[in-house]
Amino acid sequence: MRSLLLLLITLSFVTASAQWSANPAINNAVCNFTGSQTNVQMVADGTGGAILVWQDTRNSSTDIYAQRISATGTLLWNTDAVPLCTAAFNQQNPKIVTDGAGGAVIAWIDDRDGGGAGNYDIYAQRINSSGIVQWVADGVPVCTATGIQNNQQLLADNSGAMIVWSDGRGGSANADIYAQRLNQMGTALWTLNGAPVCTASSLQNMPQIISDGGAGSAIIVWEDWRNFSQADIYAQHISNGFTDWTFNGVVICSESNLAHQYNTRIVADGSGGAIMCWEDKRNAGSNTDLYAQRVSNSGLPQWTSNGIAICTASGIQFSHQLVADAAGGAIIAWEDRRNNRDIYTQRINASGAAQWTANGIPVCNTFDTQEEPQLVARVSGGAVFIWTDSRNSFQQDIYAQGIDATGNALWTTNGVPVANESHAQSTAQLITDGAGGALIAWQDLRSTADYDIYSSRLFAGGVLPLRLLSFTALPNNSDITLAWETENEINSSRFDVEISTDGILFNTLTRVTAKNLPGKNQYGYVHSNITGPVIFYRLKQVDLDGRFEYSAIIKVNIGKEPQITLYPNPATNFIRLKNIDPSGILQLQLIDAGGKQVMTFTANNQMQYTISTLKPGFYILKLLKTDNTVIVLQFLKQ
């Protein structure tokens, strides 16, 4: 009988930190470092993952940190995130856009020059796909003029960014709107401290910005108090640092009778213009409604004067967001108090006509409070919606729903849970995954008395990802028994067991139909009459829509080679490896029972490593080999 030596990977340990959790009570930690991490923002990284940025109090004052997470849920930068700005005093309210090269540009309000007195300026930083900052340490100044600069918004622009903000340099309580353009090196291209967009009398505030399709040009909209007795909505076009619509902006809405209009959101209309939606008090009483307007590239309103009604139902409609619908119209979501505190939505076409039921359709109208809606467009039409939800004993959770282009709910009535751990989850953000689902991040109170950042991926079917819990190979005389276990198997088609003799070129050995059941599922396959001396295995996990993902590779050595040994086990001060060639090892990674990498080593001739500083408990030593395989060994630290 031949002697079989098995070198295998047990994925239940190795991939716990490198795969999306299928359990909404677990999710994926992005940052749970000391201090509070809040106000997370995110942008796509161009490869199916995301770059996240947030404000962070780990250093007593508030700073700005960032992390990148892959399409499969792996944290790609420093374990506890990359600092973007740790300058003196507070940095807050980060905003983020892609740099078009796998990285991002981030801008924030910054009190370093105000001595902590709240005299905020605007600073910015660029970070590349490897997590390395590209501009001056702690960021470049966008505007350090006198007065307070805040409420900044960003627009991606040729590896740099266009930035607009509310600016108090004019003194008193009045503020104006200014903008700046940064190139890929962080150099300001327009007037020092920004080009004026609107300097009309009284207060201009809360600007929003979108591209008109050209480089260095944009449409900006804001809340405007030049008429003193009421807030109106104005807009302006800027190109190369100069405005070219009516001086100080064109009127979008100036409804009379002390009817305030405010909190505007804006999306591109696909024709060089924009669609804007705002909260509106024109209909007397305490009600707040939603109205919208479309403006052309030349600054001409396209719909009814002062806007069309999106929702005039009883109660308050507010906290709205909108996305373009890829057909010249838009989809709007909002919190609605016509009955309780629910989430509603409406779609309007390029002419401003409502496409769904008048006053909107419910995304979620279950009991208790639903708030903080966000949405992204689906590739096939419609949108994915998320919100903060208190249906579970008043704790805040994150729920989601998909709505198609005709207004039909795609998932469970009133939504599916994204995060429902027993503490509070709130203020979620999302980006599309490009396949009808979304990547989602939020602030979370599950592990400490202060907030951390967690994330999850939601597939097009409204489900969290299938998770491969383990994949092993065990010898049985001249056979190899392959076994694997999964969790959350929904919309799964099959598993292709693939085999290779070199670990590079794989062929299908067999196909196993997926059980397609929630919970845990076990599978097995016996590979008989093995020839060697080396065989590689992997799983191809195929979904019903044809999408697939590969497991890690298992390597089986057939022969009388001595078995790799880790000793002593249990260990106290050091561990040592026997029967292994150091030249074949790229790196050794030490992982604790929670899946966190705690130490790394390089191979040496002695293959001996100090572990005296580790806390007692079980650990995994992961050996990354030059042939692209991995060896995993477990030991107990006393």
Residue 6 has pLDDT above 70, yes or no: no
- When pLDDT is averaged across residues 87-92 and rounded to a whole number, the result is 97
Tokens (6 digits) for 51: 């770059």
Q: Which residue has the higher pLDDT, 531 or 587?
A: 587
What is the CA 562 to chain-centroid distance, rounded? 46
CA distance 391 to 516: 29
User: How confident is the model over 331-381, as pLDDT tens digits?
Assistant: 999 999 999 999 999 999 999 999 999 999 999 999 999 999 999 999 999
Q: pLDDT tens digits for 192-206?
A: 999 999 999 999 999
In this prediction, residues 244-271 reach a mean pLDDT of 93
Residue 519 confidence (pLDDT): 76
Instruction: Evaluate if residue 543 carries a pLDDT over 70.
Output: yes
Structure tokens at 621: 């030593």
Residues 463-500 have pLDDT tens digits of 777 778 888 887 766 788 899 988 777 678 899 999 99
Cβ(415)–Cβ(393) below 8 Å: no
Least confident of 89-98, 259-268, 283-292: 283-292
* pLDDT on residue 427: 97
**What pLDDT was estimated at residue 619?**
86
Are 142 and 150 in contact by the 8 Å Cβ rule? The answer is no
Asked if 208 and 153 touch (Cβ cutoff 8 Å), the reply is yes
pTM above threshold 0.85:
no
Reported confidence tier of residue 3, pLDDT bands at 50, 70, 90: very low
Question: In the prediction, which pLDDT does 285 show?
Answer: 62
User: What average pLDDT score do residues 426-453 get?
Assistant: 94
User: Residue 616's pLDDT is what?
Assistant: 87
Between 7-16, 220-229, 251-260, 574-583, the lowest mean confidence (pLDDT) is in 7-16
Lowest mean pLDDT among 361-370, 415-424, 574-583: 574-583
| 18 vs 554, residue with greater confidence | 554
Percentage of the chain surpassing pLDDT 70? 94
In DSSP terms, 143 is beta-bridged to: 122
Q: What whole-number distance in Å separates Cα of residue 70 and Cα of residue 74?
A: 5
Q: What is the mean pLDDT of the chain?
A: 90
* Token pair listed for 517: 């059941």
Q: Say if CB 380 and CB 370 are below 8 A apart.
A: no
Comparing 432-441, 539-548, 568-577, 608-617, the range with the smallest average pLDDT is: 539-548
Q: Please state the rounded mean pLDDT for residues 455-461.
A: 90
The predicted structure's pLDDT at residue 435: 86
Nearest to 376 by CA among 445, 427, 330: 330
CA-based nearest residue to 435, from 374, 384, 364, 488:
384
Average pLDDT estimate for 235-263:
93
Q: How confident is the model at residue 62 (pLDDT cuts 50, 70, 90)?
A: very high
In the chain, what are the domains? 4-11+466-558 (2.60.40.10), 565-637 (2.60.40.1930)
Residue 18 reports pLDDT greater than 50? no
pLDDT-derived band at 65, boundaries 50, 70, 90: very high
Q: pLDDT tens digits for 100-149? A: 999 999 999 999 998 888 899 999 999 999 999 999 999 999 999 999 99
Quick one: pLDDT at residue 21? 85
